[in-house]
Amino acid sequence: MHKLGGLSRGWVWAVCALLAWAGVAAAAKVTFTYTPPKGLSVHAVDLRGSMNSWGESAMARHGGSWSVTIALKPGVYQYKYYIDGHWPKNMCKGSRYGSPVSPQAQACIGDGYGGANAVITVKASSAPSEAQRLGFHFSPQQADDLSVAQGQLTLRFQVGDGRVQAAKVWVGRVAYPAFLQLRTSKETWMALVPAGTESFRFQLELRGGGTRSFGPYRSPAHPFTAVNWVGKGTAYEIFPNSFYNGNPANDLLWKTDRTDEYYHNPKWQENPSRPRPLETAWLDAPVTAELCCHQYLGGDLRGVLDQLPYLKFLGVHLIYLTPIFEAGSTHGYDTSNYLKLAPWLGKTSTLKALLHRAHQLGMHVIFDFVPEDTGLGSPMFQSVVKLGPRSPYWSWYTINKWPFTPGDASAYQSWEGVASLPLLKTTNPQVERYLLHVAEHWIRFGFDGVRVDSPSTMVNDHSFIRKLRQAVLGINPRAYLLGEDWNVAPQWLQGHQFDSVMNYAIGRNVLIPYAGGRYPFLGGKWALQQLSFIYSRYPVAAQAMGFNVLSTHDTSRLLSQLSNLGLGGHPSPLDLARQRLAIALDTALPGTPVTFQGDECAFLGKKSPDDQERYPFQWSQCSQAMLLFYHRLGLLKTSVRALHSPVWRAGAASGGVLSFYRGAPGKGELLAIFNDQAATKVSLPQGNWTDLWNGEVVRGSLALPRMGWAYLSLR
């Protein structure tokens, strides 16, 4: 689910983080602490204030206290703690949250709501330390700097640009080399040491002579650890309604599904001019206003089961199914019953067989979970409609007036104001328990993880997702947690919430503009800067589990975005080369490349990049050439070790050329090179390289045609 337009908090957060980053050299470290008074049980605390634009800095629990340390430039800051989804009214005066709530507060000032914010003044520290002079920063408690992926502890430190010429990590008497991973306004260096390493220190060789040591540091007891299977194959998104009809016998069952919002929304029933859900043959022209939501095409779970060999052929090891539960629409984001499958999609036994067969084929399957709202057809919501305040579910929603007509947006709070999606009050412990129970149920059933829809629209988004993670991993520690966020969103990826967000910020904002080549100034250098910025903000474990989408059911098709062509158009050889470049680039990134169903067939769809693609999969018209290309890339992704590595290292870029390395430096390391502009010759680093696409050995330089690319492996 996605609302178009509006700047989200994640984006604002990223801009603020960028601004804050520029001034970090002059910053002083300030630790904020919170100790709950005796008898108060606390599950999550965030620092929110002018230092983070009233965003969230999660505080970590140490024994009975909570704390977070952040670098602050000299200045005056106002803040509050956000405790289990609640604001203490006054940060200085006594309340159930303690008195004072923050021992760091030097004063309090009116918050404009009758309460008071804490105030702290940060002064410039007089004598800069050695670390400050070098711009060195490393914090073992931060997932950005320390996490585990593919069985190795990955360490990253930042240092001023051009200050260091080499570095190593000492673990006891063993030295491990560090290497420059990427450059932003600073340099980020990276090293791999054995997982389980408890203590280590850094040794930096300075440019201009001399060495400096930092440490020893201790690893945290439970570092953010990547689930290893995620980065070892390709992923595939399935929108079941329009994928494949494996069982025509269930095609019309939506008509008997009395939870359909159509039947529950009197306003719609009273309006005969509103089109009814359509019964459409697979190959009919289905582009109507109802395609998004109410055009039942017949696709089902049996269809997914039938096509597992096809997915295996593409190297798929992770299937993301959009919602499959009883709902009022074809897309299923308006859930009626979280614990029952939509009847037109199939029976529980079919789902069981699908998961079983997928697991046999080495695939994982995640389900789409919509915890922020229900549909109008939900029995909980219908109970409120009928009984009002006497309903046991009255406190599950935020109702402004009763009685009301479902569909009346003024009567209750709804998702982004869409009246068919009444918001759940996730701060109500009963609602929270129910939703966690739902997630646990489906993980127990056999799903390998969960994709969470629109999490930032929940009032208590971060504390809810922390609990969801605990609940899911409590049942399956190898499960994968994916969140819908369209922005650069490190706030979710610190090891306590999601493993990855849907990386639209990479695919849609960097890879497609680069491969689309519509703006020559967005060439290789620009793309490398964007990727470097994002990877400087994401912990290595989150990079290693990246869910790298190019297009989804919420956007138009990849080829339509690259060619600006709609259904029935004729893509040129250059358009198709752009698509090959985009998916080759996506496949070379850490984590997993994600194909939206049918993109591998070079299908076109709706033209506008913001149009949601829900057109039925025209199996008979699949481009065999593009399919074979995806198949060969999928084979490389599953078989080349460097492509499973958590290491992404920036290479050279100029003109249309973009390059980066995968895998630890040395033999077996992979150099991926791309060119989105005119044919050119690229000089290669020393050594003999094998071109993994054609097996040829290259050295010295490599000729790249327009839209050319290569995966080179160091021999």
| By the rule CB under 5 A, 245 interacts with Ca ion | yes
40 vs 252, beta carbon nearer Ca ion: 252
247 vs 612, beta carbon nearer Ca ion: 247
79 vs 615, beta carbon nearer Ca ion: 615
| By the rule CB under 5 A, 247 interacts with Ca ion | yes
CA distances from 598 to 258, 261, 414, 503, 553 (A): 32, 29, 33, 19, 11
The strand pairing partners of 156, in sequence order, are 190
The position carrying tokens 């057109």 is 615
Q: Which of residues 562-591 bind Ca ion (CB under 5 A)?
A: none
Q: Are the C-beta atoms of residues 636 and 587 closer than 8 Å to each other?
A: yes
245 vs 426, beta carbon nearer Ca ion: 245
Dihedral angle, C-alpha 452, 456, 459, 464, nearest 10 °: 40
Q: Which stretch binds Ca ion (CB under 5 A): 191-199, 297-305, 363-371, 704-712?
A: 297-305
CB of 578 to Ca ion, least distance (A): 35
| By the rule CB under 5 A, 448 interacts with Ca ion | no
CB of 245 to Ca ion, least distance (A): 5
CB of 323 to Ca ion, least distance (A): 16
298 vs 546, beta carbon nearer Ca ion: 298
For Cα atoms 605, 607, 611, give the angle at the middle one, nearest 5 degrees: 85
Q: Are the C-beta atoms of residues 606 and 560 closer than 8 Å to each other?
A: yes
31 vs 256, beta carbon nearer Ca ion: 256
Q: Which stretch binds Ca ion (CB under 5 A): 95-103, 128-136, 249-257, 696-704?
A: 249-257
Q: Are the C-beta atoms of residues 246 and 303 closer than 8 Å to each other?
A: yes
CB of 302 to Ca ion, least distance (A): 7
Structure tokens at 522: 């967005």
User: Which of 154, 219, 250, 532 is in the footprint of Ca ion by CB under 5 A?
Assistant: 250
The strand pairing partners of 522, in sequence order, are none
- Of 634, 672, 667, nearest to 652 by C-alpha is 672
CA distances from 279 to 290, 291, 332 (A): 11, 11, 17
d(CA 303, CA 98): 57
Three-state DSSP state, 686: coil
- Of 507, 448, 503, nearest to 320 by C-alpha is 448
Name the pairing type of β-strands 278-279 and 325-327.
Answer: unpaired
CB of 349 to Ca ion, least distance (A): 15
Count how many Cα atoms sit within 13 Å of the Cα of residue 155 in the half-sphere of its side chain. 31
The strand pairing partners of 337, in sequence order, are 326
| By the rule CB under 5 A, 184 interacts with Ca ion | no
Q: Let me know how many helices (H) and strands (E) the chain has, helices first.
A: 17, 35
Q: Which stretch binds Ca ion (CB under 5 A): 51-59, 116-124, 294-302, 435-443?
A: 294-302
Interface size with Ca ion, residues (CB under 5 A): 6
Q: Which stretch binds Ca ion (CB under 5 A): 70-78, 99-107, 250-258, 502-510?
A: 250-258
Q: Which of residues 472-491 bind Ca ion (CB under 5 A)?
A: none
Q: Are the C-beta atoms of residues 259 and 377 closer than 8 Å to each other?
A: yes
CB of 254 to Ca ion, least distance (A): 10
- Of 482, 502, 490, nearest to 533 by C-alpha is 490
591 vs 616, beta carbon nearer Ca ion: 616
Name the amino acid, one letter, at 395: S
| By the rule CB under 5 A, 257 interacts with Ca ion | no
| By the rule CB under 5 A, 241 interacts with Ca ion | no
298 vs 315, beta carbon nearer Ca ion: 298
Q: Are the C-beta atoms of residues 708 and 678 closer than 8 Å to each other?
A: no
297 vs 506, beta carbon nearer Ca ion: 297
User: Which of 298, 377, 593, 646 is in the footprint of Ca ion by CB under 5 A?
Assistant: 298
CB of 342 to Ca ion, least distance (A): 11
CB of 370 to Ca ion, least distance (A): 23
Q: Which stretch binds Ca ion (CB under 5 A): 193-201, 299-307, 360-368, 383-391?
A: 299-307
Name the pairing type of β-strands 278-279 and 295-296.
Answer: parallel
| By the rule CB under 5 A, 251 interacts with Ca ion | yes
Q: Which stretch binds Ca ion (CB under 5 A): 239-247, 280-288, 518-526, 561-569?
A: 239-247
In the chain, the N- to C-terminal Cα span, in Å, equals: 46
| By the rule CB under 5 A, 300 interacts with Ca ion | yes
> Interface residues with Ca ion (CB under 5 A)?
245, 247, 250-251, 298, 300
